[in-house]
Structure 1
Amino acid sequence: MAASSLVFTVRRRQPELVRPAAPTPRELKQLSDIDDQEGLRFLLPGIQFYRHVPSMAGIDPAAVIRDALSRALVHYYPFAGRLREGPNRKLSVDCTGEGVLFVEADTDVSVDDFTAPLHPPFPCLEELFVDVEGYNGILGCPLLLLQVTRLRCGGFIVGTLFNHTMVDGDGMVQFLNAVAELARGRPAPLVAPVWQRELFRARNPPKVSRIHREYEEVDGTIEPFSDMAHRSFFFGSREVEALRARLPPQLRRRSRFEIVTACLWRCRTAALRLDPEEEVRFIGIVNARAGNCTRPPLGYYGNAFAMPAAVTKAGKLTRNPLGYALDQVRRSKADVDDEYMKSVADLMVLRGRPHFTVARTYVVSDVSRLGFGDVDFGWGKAAYGGAAEGGVFPIPGLASYYIPLRNSEGKDGIVVPVCLPAEAMERFVVEIEGMVKEPPASEKEVGNGSSRSAM
């Protein structure tokens, strides 16, 4: 899926601070030790496209959302505060009630001018978000920036930038749903917000009890920032079944996430042409709201995930059958439980809240079930809702997000935006196209190929 060639500009009004609609508590609230790690200290973007609805003609979406946002901040008042940093780099929210940054804008394009079906990478993406040049978005700054861009067709686009230390994907959707429910006339959000960041606080004394290769310090550099190419890749039932056919029987029932991730990690590594002896990492986002973890209470909107790493050598990953990569992905996910989450929090305190490893690392997160597209401000569900680009981490090429999509043929699946250096992208396309074709009988795995190593 190639990017659209559409070019446009928006006319922004002056940014304004939207404050809570009623008085809120003035207090200092600590973030969790999962929240304030270095790797989450950036602005997390999301985007939603809404079509024109005749019954809403004459109603300004910017005014509706601004008003609902102000009322939602009464319930989610920490968002209206500012982050402060204390000893050992510990972050807390000073609940000052100063507000979040809001911009209304207009442009002369319509939803149908974008490539159909809607998916990242989106053209002129920087036009659809609050201009934050020179703005670090972390300490002493608004914790949410929101732009509503009215379109020529009567539809609109909502571009949000959340401080990631405050929320994860589930938290973003929970907050946006609260705004949407108030916009539709509810007196209060259906799900009451829960702070309780102590759930993911380090123990006293802290004790790292698990191996965390996702936070290792390693030599090496990330992929170059210049000359990066953005593409999206669709995986429907046909593509996934073709990948399953390349797996030994005992692995064919693994999840779509694990199978597609194994394929992407292997193809990406091959496309980058790394030294066969260099270590490469896959980091998968594992949600602590499910799986082997005790779920935080309904309404918790802080970061509740771990980032376990699978580590192997580049040559071993690319020379082995797909089952080898899948086995690495599967094993890394299985490690995450309550003790793992406690161990991560303890590591943060003991090591000064380090960044996760980025050299020769690929990060993948499945956001296909979060419900970004279901957020309804009164104009119905979004025509598209989810990640704004391939890698929202502030390092090009580092991450991919799995986004639900019905393609132009009406087939449901996921679209995966990928960002790579241009030459590597050309090789990556070839690798992916080869993998999602039905393999010849000679290449189908019939035995236990998951652990076979290249010599």
Structure 2
Amino acid sequence: MAQSLLFTVKRHAPEFVKPSKPTPHEIKLLSDIDDQDGLRFQIPVIQFYKYDPNMKGKDPVDVIRKALSKTLVFYYPFAGRLREGPGRKLMVDCNDEGVLFIEADADVSLKEFGDALHPPFPCLNELLFDVPGSSEVLNTPLLLIQVTRLKCEGFIFALRLNHTMSDAPGIVQFMNALGEISRGNSEPSISPVWCREILNARDPPRVTCTHREYEQVPDDNGTIFPLTDGVNRTFFFGPTEVATIRSLLPTNQQEQYSNFEIITAYFWRCRTIALQLDYDKEIRIICVVNARSKFVNLPLPKGYYGNALAYATAVTTPRKLIENSLDYALNLVKKAKSNVTKEYMHSVADLLVIKGRPHFTLVRSHIVVDVTRNRSGEVNFGWGKAVYGGQPRGGGDGDIPGLVSFHIPFKNAKGEEGVVIPSFFSPQIMERLVKEMESVLKSNTNQLTKADPRSSIIISSL
């Protein structure tokens, strides 16, 4: 996407959208997974939609606003406000105060955003306006939605969610319900289920697993990367790149690992080399795992929209990561993911209660979030699937810049499906990262990096 794109957005005054029918006024407790410190922030989603001649005369703002009011009858906790009780316990005051809704118009067409839509979107603040006073975790709207009409008659749907309420699958479930009702359904095809007690701590709580993701580590050299002198680059991993990385492994190991594990381990190793970290101080990789997986075997009912995630963690040193072959990193990633079981999730909830709901460890950590299965781009408000839907940020913005790598689904100009990883570092670190990536991939594929002069993006075969 063109980073230099300039346009004007005219916003109407924010309004509150409330459920269209009376809903229960009650207090609903969040789970002990929901209310941990590491989820107490706002997460954004952005969706780009083309004009559809079949919807001629229909206003997406009006359609979505009316559908939102009807959808909140089913998802009425979103219309409430978050409160904090004894022991930092979070709960929803279901009081029907409503969610924030912004109507907007932009003097730009969809094609001006470029052919290859992917994060980071530098215009996010215009397309998802931070209403003053609305972004605190407690006592503020739990959802903010902005619908922006484009001059081509397409539109952009952007949403901001208090993360303690839902994870990515949970909010996509809500968005699909909103889409179904926008298209004329009277109710969602999947009924929302609260049942947050399933992921509460046991009585008495008992930590039965090792949780190195919550260890308290002194920050002796700064955790957050400075934003003042950074550059964004986006790396593409398609079939060719993944096959090239697999070829580094012994023949009998090449099919033992998933694409996610291959990309994660390789990128972690390259990133560690580029950062030039102290060789013998511990580093962590934290993979966000969806505990809805059949391998975890949690008894979560269909329709559960709370947080069901774990921070699967592996610990090593830069020396071990760099001096060993790639399968060392791969085994660390694979083992960390496999540690997440039903018992592990209960043990996490117990630890969080015992320790006062701590934040996961940020010091010398690399956090990896796979959004390739979220399917947010399939949300349909009547104008078809999104041209792009999902994560709007790269590696350089948000609350922990430089620490997070998102695996985002992408199709390149050749029609090859893969993932992109937006990254943000200082020019010196980025230069070393590109060099390290190229040392294997470019020599084998001869196509890893291809600069886009409009956006200073490095991406393969777009």
2:316 is the alignment partner of 1:312: yes
Question: Partner residue of 2:243?
Answer: 241
In the alignment, the residues of structure 1 paired with residue 136 and residue 68 of structure 2 have an alpha-carbon distance, to the nearest angstrom, of 19
Deviation at 1:419, TM superposition (A): 2.2
Deviation at 1:224, TM superposition (A): 2.6
Question: Could you tell me which amino acid in structure 1 is paired with residue 366 of structure 2?
Answer: Y
Question: Partner residue of 2:87?
Answer: 88
Kept after mapping to 1: 8 A contact 2:2/2:113: no
Deviation at 1:134, TM superposition (A): 4.8
In the alignment, the residues of structure 1 paired with residue 424 and residue 4 of structure 2 have an alpha-carbon distance, to the nearest angstrom, of 17
Question: Partner residue of 1:194?
Answer: 193
Question: Partner residue of 2:143?
Answer: 144
- Residues 106-117 of structure 1 correspond to what in structure 2 (within 5 A)? 106-117=105-116
Deviation at 1:324, TM superposition (A): 1.2
2:334 is the alignment partner of 1:330: yes
In the alignment, the residues of structure 2 paired with residue 251 and residue 125 of structure 1 have an alpha-carbon distance, to the nearest angstrom, of 42
Question: Partner residue of 1:211?
Answer: 210
2:124 is the alignment partner of 1:125: yes
2:181 is the alignment partner of 1:182: yes
Q: Give the stretch that moved more between structures: 160-169 or 55-64.
A: 55-64
2:429 is the alignment partner of 1:424: yes
In the alignment, the residues of structure 1 paired with residue 57 and residue 147 of structure 2 have an alpha-carbon distance, to the nearest angstrom, of 16
In the alignment, the residues of structure 1 paired with residue 273 and residue 60 of structure 2 have an alpha-carbon distance, to the nearest angstrom, of 46
Q: Give the stretch that moved more between structures: 2-11 or 27-36.
A: 2-11
Kept after mapping to 1: 8 A contact 2:13/2:102: yes
Deviation at 1:417, TM superposition (A): 1.6
TM-superposition CA deviations, 1:1-25 (whole Å, max 9, x none): x863212231111100100010000
Question: Could you tell me which amino acid in structure 2 is paired with residue 395 of structure 1?
Answer: I
In the alignment, the residues of structure 1 paired with residue 149 and residue 233 of structure 2 have an alpha-carbon distance, to the nearest angstrom, of 27
Deviation at 1:278, TM superposition (A): 1.6
Question: Could you tell me which amino acid in structure 2 is paired with residue 251 of structure 1?
Answer: Q
Gaps of 5+ in 1: 441-455
Deviation at 1:75, TM superposition (A): 0.1
In the alignment, the residues of structure 2 paired with residue 132 and residue 329 of structure 1 have an alpha-carbon distance, to the nearest angstrom, of 39
Question: Partner residue of 1:225?
Answer: 226
Deviation at 1:116, TM superposition (A): 1.8
Question: Partner residue of 1:264?
Answer: 267
2:275 is the alignment partner of 1:276: no
Kept after mapping to 1: 8 A contact 2:134/2:141: no
Question: Partner residue of 2:402?
Answer: 397
Q: Give the stretch that moved more between structures: 129-138 or 322-331.
A: 129-138
TM-superposition CA deviations, 1:175-201 (whole Å, max 9, x none): 000000000000100000000000100
TM-superposition CA deviations, 1:277-301 (whole Å, max 9, x none): 1211100011111123224111000
What is the DSSP-based 3-state SS (H/G/I as helix, E as strand, rest coil) of the residue aligned with 1:365? strand
Question: Could you tell me which amino acid in structure 2 is paired with residue 244 of structure 1?
Answer: R
Q: Calculate the TM-score normalised by the size of structure 2.
A: 0.92
Kept after mapping to 2: 8 A contact 1:262/1:322: yes
Deviation at 1:26, TM superposition (A): 0.4
Q: Give the stretch that moved more between structures: 61-70 or 106-115.
A: 106-115
Question: Partner residue of 2:43?
Answer: 44
In the alignment, the residues of structure 2 paired with residue 124 and residue 7 of structure 1 have an alpha-carbon distance, to the nearest angstrom, of 8
Kept after mapping to 2: 8 A contact 1:236/1:411: yes
Kept after mapping to 2: 8 A contact 1:7/1:123: no
In the alignment, the residues of structure 2 paired with residue 127 and residue 321 of structure 1 have an alpha-carbon distance, to the nearest angstrom, of 45
- Residues 363-442 of structure 1 correspond to what in structure 2 (within 5 A)? 363-391=367-395, 394-437=399-442
2:286 is the alignment partner of 1:287: no
Kept after mapping to 2: 8 A contact 1:137/1:143: no
In the alignment, the residues of structure 2 paired with residue 265 and residue 287 of structure 1 have an alpha-carbon distance, to the nearest angstrom, of 20
In the alignment, the residues of structure 2 paired with residue 133 and residue 231 of structure 1 have an alpha-carbon distance, to the nearest angstrom, of 31
Question: Partner residue of 2:451?
Answer: none
Deviation at 1:133, TM superposition (A): 4.7
What is the DSSP-based 3-state SS (H/G/I as helix, E as strand, rest coil) of the residue aligned with 2:248? coil
In the alignment, the residues of structure 2 paired with residue 430 and residue 273 of structure 1 have an alpha-carbon distance, to the nearest angstrom, of 14
User: In 2 relative to 1, CA 225–3 (structure 1 residues): closer, same or farther, beyond 3 Å?
Assistant: farther
In the alignment, the residues of structure 1 paired with residue 303 and residue 426 of structure 2 have an alpha-carbon distance, to the nearest angstrom, of 40
TM-superposition CA deviations, 1:217-249 (whole Å, max 9, x none): 111221333223222211110000000001123
User: In 2 relative to 1, CA 268–407 (structure 1 residues): closer, same or farther, beyond 3 Å?
Assistant: same
In the alignment, the residues of structure 2 paired with residue 251 and residue 257 of structure 1 have an alpha-carbon distance, to the nearest angstrom, of 15
In the alignment, the residues of structure 1 paired with residue 352 and residue 198 of structure 2 have an alpha-carbon distance, to the nearest angstrom, of 15
Deviation at 1:438, TM superposition (A): 5.5
Gaps of 5+ in 2: 446-462
In the alignment, the residues of structure 1 paired with residue 70 and residue 377 of structure 2 have an alpha-carbon distance, to the nearest angstrom, of 22
Question: Partner residue of 1:32?
Answer: 31
Question: Partner residue of 1:339?
Answer: 343
In the alignment, the residues of structure 1 paired with residue 349 and residue 181 of structure 2 have an alpha-carbon distance, to the nearest angstrom, of 35
In the alignment, the residues of structure 2 paired with residue 134 and residue 428 of structure 1 have an alpha-carbon distance, to the nearest angstrom, of 39
In the alignment, the residues of structure 1 paired with residue 266 and residue 299 of structure 2 have an alpha-carbon distance, to the nearest angstrom, of 30
Q: Give the stretch that moved more between structures: 323-332 or 131-140.
A: 131-140
Deviation at 1:114, TM superposition (A): 1.2
In the alignment, the residues of structure 1 paired with residue 136 and residue 188 of structure 2 have an alpha-carbon distance, to the nearest angstrom, of 27
In the alignment, the residues of structure 2 paired with residue 64 and residue 433 of structure 1 have an alpha-carbon distance, to the nearest angstrom, of 48
Q: Give the stretch that moved more between structures: 49-58 or 424-433.
A: 424-433
User: In 2 relative to 1, CA 274–389 (structure 1 residues): closer, same or farther, beyond 3 Å?
Assistant: same
In the alignment, the residues of structure 2 paired with residue 159 and residue 149 of structure 1 have an alpha-carbon distance, to the nearest angstrom, of 8
Kept after mapping to 1: 8 A contact 2:28/2:92: yes
Deviation at 1:422, TM superposition (A): 3.1
What is the DSSP-based 3-state SS (H/G/I as helix, E as strand, rest coil) of the residue aligned with 1:137? coil
Question: Could you tell me which amino acid in structure 2 is paired with residue 324 of structure 1?
Answer: Y
Q: Calculate the TM-score normalised by the size of structure 1.
A: 0.94
Deviation at 1:251, TM superposition (A): 3.0
Question: Could you tell me which amino acid in structure 2 is paired with residue 83 of structure 1?
Answer: L
Deviation at 1:271, TM superposition (A): 1.1
Instruction: Give the count of matched residue pairs.
Output: 439
Question: Could you tell me which amino acid in structure 2 is paired with residue 312 of structure 1?
Answer: T
What is the DSSP-based 3-state SS (H/G/I as helix, E as strand, rest coil) of the residue aligned with 2:105? strand
2:349 is the alignment partner of 1:350: no
Kept after mapping to 1: 8 A contact 2:207/2:351: yes
Question: Could you tell me which amino acid in structure 1 is paired with residue 86 of structure 2?
Answer: P
Question: Could you tell me which amino acid in structure 2 is paired with residue 298 of structure 1?
Answer: K
Q: Give the stretch that moved more between structures: 337-346 or 363-372.
A: 363-372
